Each structure stands twice: as C-alpha cells, then as structure tokens.
Amino acid sequence: MTLQANSAPQNLHSALDIVLDTAYQGVDKAAWKNLFASARQSKLEQFIQDLFAGKHINNSEDRPALHSALRNLTKTPVLINGLDVMPAVSGVWHRIEALCNKWVGVTDVIHIGIGGSDFGPRLAIEALAHVPGIESRGMRMHFLANIDTAELARILARAHPHSTRVIIVSKSFTTLETTMNAKAVLAWLHESGCTKGQIAHALYAVTANIPAAKEFGVEEENIFPFWDWVGGRYSVWSAVGLPIALQYGFETFKQFLAGAEAMDLHFKNAPLEENLPVIMALTLLYQQEKHDIKAYAAIPYADALDWFPKWLQQLDMESNGKSVDRDGKPVKHSSPVVFGSAGSNAQHSYFQLFHQGTEIIPIDFIAVREPMSDRPEALAHHRILLSNCLAQAQALANGKTASNPNDVYPGKRPSNLLLLPKLNAFYLGALLSLYENRTATLGALWNINSFDQPGVEYGKVLAKPIEKALASHQNDIAASADIDAVTAARINLLNS
Ligand code: F6P
C-alpha cells in the first residue's frame, strides 16, 4: 500500500484561503476519527479557550501566554488580573506609528537582539523585501545577534554612524550577547564622533525590563515596553517587530498583525476537524506514534521564507523540547528535531536522505501560488518551482521499484502541502500564527508547558567561570566544582 491519495475531500482543509492538503499523510478516515477523539479527550478545546482567555497556562512561571493580544486589532478586551491590556497594547501601536513618521533621513538601523528578539523581525524583513509592489523606506536593516564580532564588524563597516539608529531588543535586558553588542555599537558611535546627545537620540530599546534599559542609558521616551505575558519567541507582534513598521510602513505592520489575528480567530473558533493548526499538529502526532519519528522538516518553496525554518526551530524546540510534562512527570513524546531551508535548494542538499535514508522524516511543503517577483521570467520559473515541490511530495509518498536496490525509492514518506495564495504581510502573519498555534496544540497534546525554557539556563551559568578561567590566560586550570576535567583541559589548550 502506498500513501497515494485519492484526493478525497477529507484531505483538503482551508482557512483564510490557505489550503492544507494532508493527502500524503496516509491517515484514513478511522485514524482521523481516533486522532480527533483523543485530542478531545486531552481537553484540547478547553486548552484553546484557556489560552485566549489569559489563564495561567504557563504554569511553571505562573502567567498567561497572551501574544494573541498583541495582534488583537479589534481590541476585544483581554483581561489580566481583571485589567484590560488592550489600551497598553494599542498605546504601543500609536507610538510605533509615530516613530515611522518621525524617522527621516535614517540610512541604517542596527537591531540588536538574539533568539526570539531576532528571528521574527529578521524573517519578516527578508520575507517582505521582494513582495511585488511593497513600499520600502530603503533603510539598511542590520540584525546583530551573535557575540562573535564577525557580525558586528560586517555591520559597522557598512553603516553610516551619523544617520544610524540603534534598537536594543531584549525581553529580559540581561542577555549577555545583546548588552555586550549594544555597548560595542555605542562605543563605535562615540568613536565615530557622535556626541552624547546624538547617541542618546539614536538609541532605542524594546523590553519588558524598563528599569534595566534606563540603567543602560536609554531615554525613557525611547523605550517601547512589552510584557512578561509575552514569551520571547512569540514576541514579533510587539514592538520587537518595529523594523517591519519602520521599513515597510505601519500599514504593512498592521497587515502582518491582521493575518495573525485572522488565524487566531480561526484557531479559536473552528471545530477541531476544520482547524488548520490542530490538523497539522495531529499529522505530526500520527507519524510520531506510527514511526517514532525523531525529526521533521519544513521546506518553504519560496526563497523569501529561507529564514522561516530557523524561526520555527526556536518556536518548536524551545517550546516543546522537554522531557517532563506540566506535572514534572516523564513524557513519552515531545518535539522532534525540526530543520529545513528553502526549496528547491534543499533538494540539492539533504533530500537524498528523505527519499532513500533509513529515517522517516515527515515534511511540511510550504508553497505560494503567486511568484515573488515581477521579473519577466517569474511565471516560468515559478511553475518549475511548484512542479518540483509537487514532484518531491509524490516521489516520497509513492516511491519507485527497481531491480537495482540502489535505485529503489521505498516511498510511504509522509508530507503536508500548505499552499498560501500569496506572500504578503497578511499571509506572512497568518503563516507564523498558524505555526505558533500548532506548537501550542502540540504542547497541549503532549501535556507540555510550551511557554517556558528552563533548559537554556544551565549552560549560561557554566559559561561564567569558564570565561573567567579563559581571561586568566593560565594553562594550569584544575578541575573544580564548576569545571570538569575535560573542560579544564580544553581551557588549558586554549590558554596555551
Ligand atoms: O536563552 C534563550 C532566550 O531566553 C530565548 O528564550 C529568548 O528569545 C532569547 O534568549 C533572548 O532573550 P531576551 O529577549 O531576554 O534577550
């Protein structure tokens, strides 16, 4: 039996003109019934309502996960401890709009942030750059994340200090990479002859820790707040997404929010059987149960979405890469590894393994109906891009027999097709919201808290004594409580 579809309507689902085709998942009617029944048994519907109602579903940190409020353009009241947060949220929208109108003559923006304070805006700036007809202010948007000075040096070599604006983006405002990079950029402005007043004028912050930003030297009127009920990896909808508004205009930013809001409303209101984020989550659970898959891939057949898999990696793996459930009990399953990159490039890299490797890797093929450029070749190229996308899914599902074992394609390799009508700010917002809600659904079904990330802390703590040992330049560091023998030897190697 193959996974070949009979294109039965039950495989096709749509919301906001986005079509999800699950035909190559090989899930039959009875299996779908069981999947929805077990989702109901896990109280998924209640979880979705609790998520939007601001219940403290981030139980370890005892707070809600209300990133949906940041894209609630209709301003339906969202209560936290009885207080509507929408006036504060829309206050930030007004400030973003005012800033867009204020920035004239700015040539360069250096956005300093890492992880969730980086991926979302970086993805959006890249993805929207070639939308036919999009208006762009043409500023050079530089994203500075890594503590490695290569990125810093590259940016500073290109930026014009006297017409540069700097935005420090950090929910906690304690992230070492971000604060050190910010200090380096300020030093560069100073060395380049900018006065104290000019530097203060150029410096902005986006943070949930306003005292720390002030302490760092950012003027209060240049600080855009967001709140502890927004997880870092869910924060692009806040002022973290400022670059989108600054580069493409506030209306485009609003369109981005509108797409996300529309997908939220679909997620919140559609029955499970028609609910795109839920169906996508269930296809993954099905393959995990059936094949014990360890990885899945997201392959956007759109160069503009090349950053999407990187954004998704943090979303999925930081949210659901956990071994214990909400109650501290071991889980049977959690997030598989997720990876990907733009097709068709990816075909010329790791698709060999997809077709003939021993691992079964489910794939989300993401395609866009309309080409992403108005070049005369666009339609012809786009047809080839789409035919490659469809062909890969078909080859993976059906396989191919051959007398030479080397030429056999085993087939039965599952995939989804997610088809966007076009790629603009609205559909980009909808796509990210779809995946955010899918991640939350998976967490709910695994009974994992998708909104904390305790696993990222330990390495940060251990780095401190190691950094101190490296700074000592000694090559006779002995193992200690903080530094084991292997690491002590490595420090000594670096110090010698
Ligand atoms: O170390 C992981 C992390 O805390 C992510 O969750 C977060 O997106 C990133 O670091 C950056 O954090 P911040 O926005 O507080 O600087």
CATH number where 286 lies: 3.40.50.10490
Q: Can you give the pLDDT at residue 104? A: 87
The answer to whether residue 5 scores a pLDDT higher than 50 is no
**Do 444 and 484 share a domain, yes or no?**
no
Select from 185, 217, 248 the last residue of a domain: 248
Select from 419, 434, 452 the last residue of a domain: 452
Q: CA angle 141-147-149, nearest 5°?
A: 75
**Do 430 and 281 share a domain, yes or no?**
yes
**Do 131 and 183 share a domain, yes or no?**
yes
Poorest-pLDDT segment among 100-109, 246-255, 418-427: 100-109
Q: What is the mean pLDDT of residues 30-43?
A: 97
**Do 349 and 314 share a domain, yes or no?**
yes
The answer to whether residue 356 scores a pLDDT higher than 60 is yes
Residue 93 lies in a domain: no
User: Is residue 165 within 6 Å of ligand 1 at its C-beta?
Assistant: no
**Do 241 and 273 share a domain, yes or no?**
no
Which of 111, 318, 382, 436 is catalytic? The answer is 318
Which of 348, 377, 457, 473 is catalytic? The answer is 348
Number of domains in the chain: 3
When pLDDT is cut at 50, 70 and 90, the band that residue 444 belongs to is very high
Q: What is the mean pLDDT of residues 411-416?
A: 98
What are 188-225's pLDDT values in tens digits? Answer: 999 999 999 999 999 999 999 999 999 999 999 999 99
Which residue's alpha carbon is at the smallest distance from atom 6 of ligand 1?
232
User: Is residue 209 within 6 Å of ligand 1 at its C-beta?
Assistant: no
Which residue's alpha carbon is at the smallest distance from atom 16 of ligand 1?
170
Of the candidates 413, 428, 416, the residue with the CA atom closest to the CA atom of residue 390:
416
**Do 242 and 351 share a domain, yes or no?**
no
| Ligand 1 midpoint to CA 49 (Å) | 27
Q: Can you give the pLDDT at residue 374? A: 85
pTM, two decimals, is: 0.96
Q: Is 318 a catalytic residue?
A: yes
Q: How much is the mean pLDDT over the chain?
A: 96
When pLDDT is cut at 50, 70 and 90, the band that residue 242 belongs to is very high
Q: Can you give the pLDDT at residue 2? A: 41
Angle between the N-to-C axes of helices 149-158 and 176-191, in degrees from 0 to 180, rounded to the nearest 10: 30
Residue 77 lies in a domain: no
User: Is residue 453 within 6 Å of ligand 1 at its C-beta?
Assistant: yes
Q: What percent of the chain has pLDDT over 90?
A: 95
Residue 51 lies in a domain: yes
The domain of 108 spans 103-248
The answer to whether residue 295 scores a pLDDT higher than 70 is yes
Residue partners of 12: CB distance under 8 A and separation at least 6: 19, 20, 21, 23
Q: How far apart are the C-alpha atoms of 126 and 145, rounded to whole Å?
A: 16
Ligand 1 nearest-atom number relative to CA 233: 8
Q: Can you give the pLDDT at residue 366? A: 98
Q: How far apart are the C-alpha atoms of 450 and 48, rounded to whole Å?
A: 13
Q: What is the mean pLDDT of residues 355-363?
A: 97
Poorest-pLDDT segment among 3-7, 123-127, 193-197: 3-7
Cβ count within 10 A of residue 425? 25
Q: Can you give the pLDDT at residue 298? A: 98
Residue 254 lies in a domain: no
Amino acid at 248: Y
User: Is residue 178 within 6 Å of ligand 1 at its C-beta?
Assistant: yes
**Do 306 and 321 share a domain, yes or no?**
yes
Residue 460 lies in a domain: yes
Q: How far apart are the C-alpha atoms of 233 and 120, rounded to whole Å?
A: 8
**Do 444 and 459 share a domain, yes or no?**
no
Q: Are 434 and 18 in contact (CB under 8 A)?
A: yes
| Ligand 1 midpoint to CA 209 (Å) | 13
When pLDDT is cut at 50, 70 and 90, the band that residue 9 belongs to is low
**Do 460 and 323 share a domain, yes or no?**
no
Select from 216, 248, 280 the last residue of a domain: 248
Q: How far apart are the C-alpha atoms of 42 and 213, rounded to whole Å?
A: 42
Residue partners of 83: CB distance under 8 A and separation at least 6: none
Which residue's alpha carbon is at the smallest distance from atom 2 of ligand 1?
456
Which residue's alpha carbon is at the smallest distance from atom 9 of ligand 1?
115
Residue 2 lies in a domain: no
Ligand 1, residues 111, 122, 172: which to mutate, most atoms within 8 A of Cβ? 172
- CB-count exposure of residue 18 (10 Å: 0-12, 13-18, 19+): buried
Poorest-pLDDT segment among 4-13, 16-25, 386-395: 4-13
Residue 75 lies in a domain: no
Which residue's alpha carbon is at the smallest distance from atom 10 of ligand 1?
115
Residue 426 lies in a domain: yes
**Do 291 and 425 share a domain, yes or no?**
yes
**Do 296 and 340 share a domain, yes or no?**
yes
Q: Can you give the pLDDT at residue 326? A: 96
**Do 210 and 171 share a domain, yes or no?**
yes
